[in-house]
């Protein structure tokens, strides 16, 4: 419960691979210590680890199929959003985040380019073939 004269601020600070709640808390406390005159209370109420795809047969098959279809290795990068891939990877289930070109994710107008839809369909089909025929 807030008292008269208090302000409540909530924020979402997402982590990147290599960070954890303790790192984020240290950073936030440093900022608050430097900018707050009247004290503060800081509570981390929720934490999820960021996703980083591990080395797996699934990832290797996807990379090989994508390289075949794109004529170059696919770009690997971080994203500013969280997905349930992190939960899967944390339990030992290999996960990759891969998809089509487009925009408006989860918006009223979400779209993809047809060329990338066809290309991703072919890449995923070949990935499944490679993955299921290996070993």
Q: Report the run of H or E that residue 133 belongs to, with start and end.
A: helix 114-133
Rounded Cα distance, 32 and 4, in Å? 20
Q: What pLDDT band is residue 90 in, cutting at 50, 70 and 90?
A: confident
Rounded Cα distance, 12 and 74, in Å? 30
pLDDT of 112 higher than 70 = yes
Domain ranges of the chain: 1-50, 57-133
CATH for 57-133, among 1.10.3720.10, 1.10.1370.30, 1.10.150.900, 3.40.50.620? Answer: 1.10.150.900
Rounded Cα distance, 9 and 46, in Å? 15
Mean pLDDT, range 20-37, rounded to an integer: 91
- For the segment 59-81, what is each residue's pLDDT rounded down to a tens digit? 999 999 999 999 999 988 877 77
Give the three-state DSSP class for 36: coil
Using a cut of 0.85, tell me whether the model's pTM lies above it.
Answer: no
pLDDT of 135 higher than 80 = no
How far are the Cα atoms of 35, 39, 41, 42, 78 from residue 7, in angstroms, in the given order?
A: 14, 11, 11, 12, 34
């Amino acid at each position: 419960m807030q008292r008269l004269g208090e302000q409540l601020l909530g924020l979402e600070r997402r982590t990147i691979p290599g960070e954890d709640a303790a790192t984020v808390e240290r950073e936030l406390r440093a900022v608050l210590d430097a900018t707050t005159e009247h004290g503060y209370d800081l509570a981390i109420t929720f934490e999820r680890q960021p996703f980083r795809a591990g080395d797996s047969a699934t990832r290797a098959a996807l990379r090989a199929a994508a390289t075949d279809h794109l004529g170059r290795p696919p770009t690997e990068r971080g994203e500013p959003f969280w997905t349930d891939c992190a939960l899967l990877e944390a339990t030992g289930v290999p996960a990759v985040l891969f998809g089509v070109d487009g925009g408006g994710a989860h918006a009223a107008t979400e779209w993809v380019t047809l060329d990338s839809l066809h290309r991703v369909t072919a890449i995923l089909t070949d990935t499944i073939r490679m993955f299921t025929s290996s070993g």
